[in-house]
């Protein structure tokens, strides 16, 4: 980021500059429908239910330790959650709450450091292993979004800002714990597709998986805007990876698009949100969708979220398994190297599912716009 580009300390200033909204569709004052999770399952019952208006809940303890019958029901439930929502909560996941708090505290401390202590990472590009910035990609979107972030590549190798001192140890442990959890979910998702438990891991070379940790900070913003995106922390997008795990600081703001409506996600205590990403949509041949989601900014309180995203090996060419082809349509996506996909999505303005559309097989429409011709297989 050059010195003329916005930095995190400009966020409040930019927020104060937003003009009053003229329209009646005032995003920041609109109250989206609130959606609670379905009630947690009682012992011995399959994990959660999946009704029209309740975010599905997946009990990891049943997936990992349940007997064959319980596990099989939990796998089916997980499959329906991926198919109907692309979004669910996971409970009994075993990641200590103290570790989650320690990560959030370390990220919070980083955001409060004086700019000179973060400068080195504020010049970073989308494929640099540590990146600190404002908005989504200030090179293409300026400081339009009320978000500060820190992104750290966590696997195959952990990269981390030197300050605060506590960050490296906490990030290493959090990355390892959440990677294990995400790999368990991936195995169960593989089964839910009728594939061998290790099939997705094998296709995406998850032994060398990519993982990134992201800390998001959304300063409060009470101002309205005449731009629909004005009071948004992150605009509508799907994630570039396979699965994203997210927890927040008790301030709501994450919305998911479900059956054409934006729903505010309210977590069950102690749960994580899990967001299906574009690579899951590709590898499942479109059976499971990378869900559109966005982050709203609270008018009075700072919101924070911590993300752990699991992706394929950066050098894996991701394409749908041939066993998931549905005649006569066949495969819905062309193969794409994950590194190229991620670089494309991170280097451009966030445009809903625009990156995925570039690798979708066009059946009737011809387009000359491709992700990067050399990366399509």
Ligand X SMILES: O=C(O)CCC(=O)C(=O)O
Can you read off the two tokens belonging to residue 48? 């959660």
Provide the minimum distance between the beta carbon of 131 and Fe ion in the complex, in angstroms, as a whole number.
15
Write out the binding residues for ligand X, residues 191-220 only, by CB under 6 A: 214, 216
The item of Fe ion, ligand X, none sharing an interface with residue 238, based on CB under 5 to 8 Å by kind, is: none
| DSSP E strands, the chain | 34-35, 57-59, 87-91, 130-134, 148-155, 210-218, 232-237, 243-248, 254-258, 261-265, 272-276, 293-296, 303-311, 317-318, 336-337
The item of Fe ion, ligand X, none sharing an interface with residue 295, based on CB under 5 to 8 Å by kind, is: ligand X
Q: Which is closer to ligand X, CB of 146 or CB of 333?
A: 146
Among 305, 308, 345, 375, interactor with ligand X by CB under 6 A: 305
Per-residue binder mask for Fe ion (CB under 5 A), 202-241, x = binder: -------------------------------------x--
Residues 64, 75: Cα–Cα separation, whole Å: 10
Task: Answer yes or no whether residue 238 interacts with ligand X by CB under 6 A.
Answer: no
Q: Nearest 5°: phi and psi at 342?
A: -65, -40
- How many residues bind ligand X (CB under 6 A)? The answer is 11
Provide the minimum distance between the beta carbon of 67 and Fe ion in the complex, in angstroms, as a whole number.
35
Q: Which is closer to ligand X, CB of 1 or CB of 246?
A: 246
Cα–Cα nearest to 192, from 47, 346, 295, 72: 72
Give the containing element (helix H, strand E) for 355.
helix 354-357
The item of ligand X, Fe ion, none sharing an interface with residue 254, based on CB under 5 to 8 Å by kind, is: ligand X
Can you read off the two tokens belonging to residue 2? 């050059």
Q: Which is closer to ligand X, CB of 107 or CB of 246?
A: 246
CA angle 198, 267, 289 (to 5 degrees): 45
- CA 313 from chain centre, in angstroms, equals 17
| C-beta atoms surrounding 301 within 10 Å | 15
Provide the minimum distance between the beta carbon of 41 and ligand X in the complex, in angstroms, as a whole number.
25
Provide the minimum distance between the beta carbon of 212 and Fe ion in the complex, in angstroms, as a whole number.
11
Applying CB under 5 A, the residues found at the interface with Fe ion are 239
Applying CB under 6 A, the residues found at the interface with ligand X are 214, 216, 234, 239, 246, 253-254, 293, 295, 305, 307
């Amino acid at each position: 980021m050059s010195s003329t580009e916005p930095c995190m300390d400009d966020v409040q200033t930019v927020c104060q500059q937003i003009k009053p909204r003229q329209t009646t569709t005032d995003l920041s004052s609109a109250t989206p429908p609130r959606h609670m999770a379905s009630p947690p399952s009682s012992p011995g019952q399959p994990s959660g239910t999946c009704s029209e208006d309740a975010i599905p809940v997946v009990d990891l303890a049943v997936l990992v330790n349940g007997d064959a019958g319980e596990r099989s029901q939990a796998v089916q439930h997980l499959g329906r959650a991926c198919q109907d929502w692309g979004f669910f909560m996971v409970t009994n996941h075993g990641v200590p709450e103290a570790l989650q708090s320690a990560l959030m505290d370390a990220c919070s401390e980083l955001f409060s450091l004086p700019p000179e202590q973060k400068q080195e990472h504020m010049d970073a590009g989308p494929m640099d292993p540590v990146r600190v910035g404002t908005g989504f990609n200030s090179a293409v979107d300026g400081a339009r979004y009320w978000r500060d972030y820190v992104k750290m590549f966590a696997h195959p190798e952990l990269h981390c800002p030197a300050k605060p001192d506590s960050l490296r140890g906490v990030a290493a442990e959090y990355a390892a714990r959440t990677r294990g959890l995400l790999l368990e979910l991936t195995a169960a998702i593989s089964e839910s597709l009728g594939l061998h438990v290790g099939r997705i891991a094998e296709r995406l070379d998850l032994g060398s998986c990519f993982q990134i940790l992201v800390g998001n900070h959304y300063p409060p913003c009470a101002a309205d805007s005449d731009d629909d995106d004005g009071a948004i922390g992150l605009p509508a997008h799907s994630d570039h990876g396979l699965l994203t795990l997210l927890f927040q600081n008790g301030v709501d703001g994450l919305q998911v698009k479900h059956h054409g409506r934006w729903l505010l996600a309210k977590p069950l205590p102690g749960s994580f949100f899990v967001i299906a990403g574009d690579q899951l949509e590709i590898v499942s041949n479109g059976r499971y969708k990378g869900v559109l989601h966005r982050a709203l900014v609270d008018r009075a309180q700072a919101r924070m979220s911590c993300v752990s995203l699991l992706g394929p090996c950066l050098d894996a060419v991701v394409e749908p398994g041939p066993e998931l082809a549905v005649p006569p349509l066949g495969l819905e996506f062309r193969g794409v190297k994950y590194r190229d996909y991620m670089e494309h999505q991170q280097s451009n303005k966030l445009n809903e599912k625009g990156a995925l559309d570039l690798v979708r097989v066009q059946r009737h429409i011809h387009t000359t716009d491709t992700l990067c011709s050399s990366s399509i297989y």
